[in-house]
Amino acid sequence: MARFGMVIDTARCVGCMDCVVACQTENDVPTGFCRDWITTEVRGTFPTLTMEIRSERCNHCDNPPCVQCCPTGASHVEPFGKTVQVTANRCIGCKACIASCPYDARFVHPKGYVDKCTFCLHRTKEGKDPACVSVCPTHCMYFGDLDDPQSTVSQLLTARKWHTLLPEAGTRPRVFYLT
Amino acid sequence: MNALSRRRFLKISAATFGAGAAATQIPPLTHLAHAAAAPGEVTTVPTFCEMCFWRCAGFASVRDGKVWKFEGNPIDPQSRGRLCPRGSGAPGAINDPDRLRTPLIRTGERGKEAWKTATWDEALTHVAERMQKIKGEHGPESIAMLYHGIGVRFIQHVLKSYGCINMAGASFAQCRGPRDVGFNLTFGQGLGSPEPTDIENTDCLVLIGSHLGENMHNLQVQEFSNAVARRIPIIVVDPRYSVAASKAKYWLPIKPGTDLALLLAWMNVLVTEGWYDRTFVAEHGLGFDKFVEEIKSATPEWAAAETGLDPALIRKTARELSLRRPASLIHPGRRVNWYGDDAQRSRAIALLNALLGNWGRRGGIHIQNGIKVAGYPLPKYPERTKPYADNPNGEKYPFADEQVTTGIREATITGQPYPIKGWFVYSSNIIQALPNRAETVKAIDSLDLLVVVDTVPSEIAGYADVVLPESVFLERHDELQIGWGRRGWVSLRQPVVAPPHEQKPGWWIAKQLANKLGMPEVMPFNDIEEYLKARIEKSGWDWAKFKAEGVILGEKKPTTVEEGVQLAFDTPSGKVEFWSQQLKDKGFDPVPKYTKHEEPPAGHFRLITGRAPVHTFSRTQTNTLLGDLMRDNEVWVNTATAAQIGLKNGAYVQLKNQDGIVSNKVRVKATQRIRPDTVYMVYGFGHTNPALKSAYQRGASVAGLTTKYKTDPLMGGTSIHSNFVTFMVEA
């Protein structure tokens, strides 16, 4: 079974937020919330600067603290693609997962359950890319099976320099940023 | 001035409620392109986008009678199947709670904030009566039009048929006009939209103030991203560390207002070092020796003193450019009205491209191809008997090849060469689009009729006598989009859902107006589908297929010399004019000359402006999806400057310009990403119409602070980087 991951080329990304809008329409994310977002990190002093722009979301960690702390099993690892998912009708809204997530990827949906990026499970089950990946005008995002050495994501991680977010948290995140 | 304009905002929102009873006696609209679907079932309808003027084609998905999402059409050359955030956010325009709902007629005097809701019949009767009165007293030329967007097509057609001749879009004098004039003077051709820049294949790219990535002209951003991935040298000239600058090999943080000095110095280096394209110049150039004479003194050392850039860096970047010619491209820019000498600066960009010999070359400026679409037989317009009011006989702005909005505004104020008594404003918030709001308000004061057609209660709608609510693009048909590019193309706009209230499409408004004006023959079709279908079928294409696919591509033809194009230049000499006799004859510099621009007074900073990827001008701030992503703009201030004058990151301040105009409050973004002598804000914010509830007084308006402007003597463009501001920290 596949182990889905995302590889995002920060060199290509312009931070336009198309990924954010596309996620909101695709997944009917309520106004005022988002499952993905843009972070801009500037280093240096004028005029010697560097900047990294990242499209961020749930990292679908291999070692997900949100799943481990969930008292009801609502947060779980889905067998399909080994992604981290929330079963809305098992969620009691205790927010333990929100507290445990080092990426601040989760929020309480106005309907009372915890919500976050699903890697567009409904699309990936149909063999499509997640909405953010499929709309990105800069083609900066790649999605695929990290366990398949022939997949684009695996190939990119072999060929290019990359980093993940907060590797020190020990969560083994599966969203990778090419630099 | 702010107080004056605020006083005049009209409470449109209040008037729009309870208007459901406003019945219409009009033929039904064309039914929707998709059939009724079962609950939860998704159907898709192709149409093209109007969230900006790039006009990408896409597919709208409809679920349970509502537009769920809007995605790119893979065969569309403008989007290549991927829309920008504004396109993806198009469903948010439908759901915008602040939309105009019914026609409105102002009651009492202008400025009394009193409206009544009206039926379309009442509103259009009112408009037609006043038009007839103006025509009777002054002639039809005294009704002018200011517009932006393809939806204007039929309203404009009806006005032209009526004898109106004064029609201008801010897209010329407040945007790309100076560039098109500068290129036309040099190569005999303007660039239009989309710009024929072969970024996809270039080996060296220069962006001067162009902030691709923040400015989301879709195809260009896609090609730019590919260029970054190809790791070609990119040179970005910008006082601000833009997103594009962060991807560049060289960032030249130039002092604003001095770009022409840099351009002349680059040309000087290319010529002095013999790095220019001698073959191209010998074969196609005219007046090269005189040109060389003119730029002789523009050394990098001279330019360094003006621009604040290291002369060695100027030489080094000139070398980069020359090494990769002809696949070396200076992007011509788009919104280039900065300092009032912009046509000449754009001409310098054209000349620099000419020195690189990139015209019609792979990786340079490619040749555009169009597509032939049959016309629809429409009656001829009456012959023009009066001069255009904005630029009578071309005497005011000799090189303007389109009409000038601010020229029409001036003619309205002065009554010269003849009175202008009526304005039709179509989908262009000229309160923010034109410089110096007080002049716009003054012009409006002398009007007998101001009609505004818009989708939202824009600031200009607040001044209208009659407001006509248009349906948003996902709810309407429009004229065909006929595009020029590497390949020509045609795309179709068709309604995906029905408008939620009394909103109507532009073509329908035009048809009813034509009837009211007693000239039904100028709109000789019952329904726009009849018109569109006739054009498509007469061109030999299948209407049903077009309706299903949304885009027809033109024939593939060569776009570069490499592919077999023979170069030809439509200048008076048939050559690339390095030295311009045309300019000389009209008393202008035949080769661009650098003049120093005014410096900010002590304690002031130059205010420059640009775009954010999620907004288009002042049109999208209340879009439910896009407004949520960026509610306010911020004022960018260099971190060191902010510390010096005691501004805290995130704190609210007000800006005061050199004329004492005070902005709305705006948050400080203290950042290393800008020069210490410059401040930056995204434009389109600081809305002053309370009817735009979610955008009202959010952020500060760049346009509001643009009281001082210079007018380009060549073509009438108005500068927007010519104001200086100081900070008023909130107590």
What is the least distance, in Å, from the CA of B350 to any CA of chain A?
27
Report whether B583 contacts B286 (CB < 8 A). no
Judge whether B667 lies within some domain. Answer: yes
| Number of structural domains in chain A | 1
Contact flag A138-B225 (C-beta cutoff 8 Å)? yes
| Number of structural domains in chain B | 3
% residues pLDDT > 70 (chain B): 94
Q: What is the distance in angstroms between the CA of the first residue and the CA of the last residue of chain B? A: 23
The model's pLDDT over B632-679, given as tens digits with 9 standing for 90+, comes to 999 999 999 999 999 999 999 999 999 999 999 999 999 999 999 999
- Out of B71, B216, B229, name the one closest to residue A12 (CB): B229
The pLDDT of residue B386 is above 80: yes
What is the least distance, in Å, from the CA of A158 to any CA of chain B?
17
What is the least distance, in Å, from the CA of A39 to any CA of chain B?
13
CB contact residues (below 8 A), chain B span 73-132, against chain A: 79, 82-85, 88-89, 91
Q: What pLDDT is recorded for position B114?
A: 78
- CATH code for the domain in which residue B690 is found: 2.40.40.20
Q: At what angle do helices B259-272 and B288-295 cross, to 10 degrees?
A: 120
Q: What pLDDT is recorded for position B19?
A: 34
Contact flag B221-A26 (C-beta cutoff 8 Å)? no
Answer yes or no: do B126 and B172 share one domain: yes
Judge whether B449 lies within some domain. Answer: yes
How would DSSP label each residue in chain A? ---EEEEEETTT-----HHHHHHHHHTTPPTT--S-EEEEEEEEETTEEEEEEEEE-----SS-HHHHH-SSS-EEE-TGGG-EEE-GGG-----HHHHH-TT---EE-TTSSEE---S-HHHHTTTPPPHHHHH-TT--EEEEETT-TTSHHHHHHHHS-EE-S-GGGS---SEEEE-
H or E element in which residue B111 lies = none
- Out of B88, B224, B244, name the one closest to residue A21 (CB): B88
What is the least distance, in Å, from the CA of A122 to any CA of chain B?
14
Judge whether B120 lies within some domain. Answer: yes
The pLDDT of residue A113 is above 90: yes
% residues pLDDT > 70 (chain A): 100
Query: Is A62 part of the contact surface with chain B (CB cutoff 8 Å)?
Result: no
The model's pLDDT over B594-613, given as tens digits with 9 standing for 90+, comes to 999 999 999 999 999 999 99
Residues of B in contact with A9 (CB under 8 A): 229
- CATH code for the domain in which residue B464 is found: 3.40.50.740
- Out of B221, B228, B244, name the one closest to residue A11 (CB): B228
Q: What pLDDT is recorded for position A120?
A: 98
Answer yes or no: do B291 and B204 share one domain: yes
The pLDDT of residue B568 is above 90: yes
Q: Supply the range of the domain harboring residue B706.
A: 605-729
- CATH code for the domain in which residue A137 is found: 3.30.70.20
The model's pLDDT over B357-383, given as tens digits with 9 standing for 90+, comes to 999 999 999 999 999 999 999 999 999
Q: Which residue of B has its CA nearest to A45?
A: B672
Nearest CA to B352 among B379, B384, B383, B317? B317
Torsion of CA B697, B703, B707, B712, to 10 degrees: 180
In this complex, how many residue pairs, one in chain A and one in chain B, have their CB atoms less than 8 Å apart?
A: 120
CB contact residues (below 8 A), chain A span 140-159, against chain B: 140
The model's pLDDT over A83-108, given as tens digits with 9 standing for 90+, comes to 999 999 999 999 999 999 999 999 99
- Out of A20, A51, A140, name the one closest to residue B629 (CB): A20
Q: What pLDDT is recorded for position B5?
A: 34
Answer yes or no: do B213 and B266 share one domain: yes
**Residue range B184-206: mean pLDDT, rounded:** 97
Answer yes or no: do B125 and B271 share one domain: no
Look up tokens 């259009």; give the residue: B124
B671 by DSSP, 3-state: which? strand
> Which domain-ending residue is among B556, B585, B614?
B585
Answer yes or no: do B348 and B269 share one domain: yes
Q: Which residue of A has its CA nearest to B613?
A: A16
Residues of B in contact with A45 (CB under 8 A): 639, 672
What is the least distance, in Å, from the CA of A63 to any CA of chain B?
31
Q: What pLDDT is recorded for position B110?
A: 78
B577 by DSSP, 3-state: which? strand
- Out of B72, B214, B241, name the one closest to residue A49 (CB): B241
Model confidence at B151, pLDDT cuts 50, 70, 90, reads very high
Q: What pLDDT is recorded for position B8?
A: 36
The model's pLDDT over B94-121, given as tens digits with 9 standing for 90+, comes to 999 999 999 999 997 776 667 899 999 9
Q: What pLDDT is recorded for position B23?
A: 36
A81 by DSSP, 3-state: which? helix
Answer yes or no: do B576 and B665 share one domain: no
Which range, of B16-30, B172-186, B574-588, averages the lowest pLDDT?
B16-30
Contact flag B85-A20 (C-beta cutoff 8 Å)? yes
Residues of B in contact with A14 (CB under 8 A): 212-214, 221, 224-225, 243-244, 613
A 10 A CB-CB count for A154 gives 18
Sheet holding B204-208, edge to edge: B250-252, B234-237, B204-208, B328-330
Q: Which residues contact B621 (CB under 8 A, 6 or more apart)?
A: B615, B627, B631, B684, B685, B687, B692, B694, B695, B698
Query: Is A15 part of the contact surface with chain B (CB cutoff 8 Å)?
Result: yes
What is the least distance, in Å, from the CA of B252 to any CA of chain A?
9
Judge whether B235 lies within some domain. Answer: yes
Residue type at A92 in one-letter notation: I
Contact flag B83-A137 (C-beta cutoff 8 Å)? yes
Model pTM score: 0.95
State the average pLDDT for chain B: 94
**Residue range B484-505: mean pLDDT, rounded:** 97
Contact flag B629-A21 (C-beta cutoff 8 Å)? yes
The model's pLDDT over B2-61, given as tens digits with 9 standing for 90+, comes to 333 333 333 343 333 333 333 333 434 445 655 567 888 999 999 999 999 999 999 999
Q: Supply the range of the domain harboring residue A74.
A: 4-178
**Residue range B411-428: mean pLDDT, rounded:** 98
What is the least distance, in Å, from the CA of B530 to any CA of chain A?
33
Judge whether B596 lies within some domain. Answer: no
Contact flag B221-A138 (C-beta cutoff 8 Å)? yes
Contact flag A15-B613 (C-beta cutoff 8 Å)? yes
CA distances, A71 to each of A96, A111, A112, B658 (Å): 8, 19, 16, 62
The model's pLDDT over A62-86, given as tens digits with 9 standing for 90+, comes to 999 999 999 999 999 999 999 999 9
Judge whether B557 lies within some domain. Answer: no
Answer yes or no: do B152 and B271 share one domain: no
Q: What pLDDT is recorded for position B30?
A: 46
CB contact residues (below 8 A), chain B span 385-444, against chain A: none
H or E element in which residue A161 lies = none
Q: Which residues contact B515 (CB under 8 A, 6 or more apart)?
A: B523
- Out of B89, B221, B228, name the one closest to residue A21 (CB): B89
Judge whether B571 lies within some domain. Answer: yes
Query: Is B217 part of the contact surface with chain A (CB cutoff 8 Å)?
Result: no
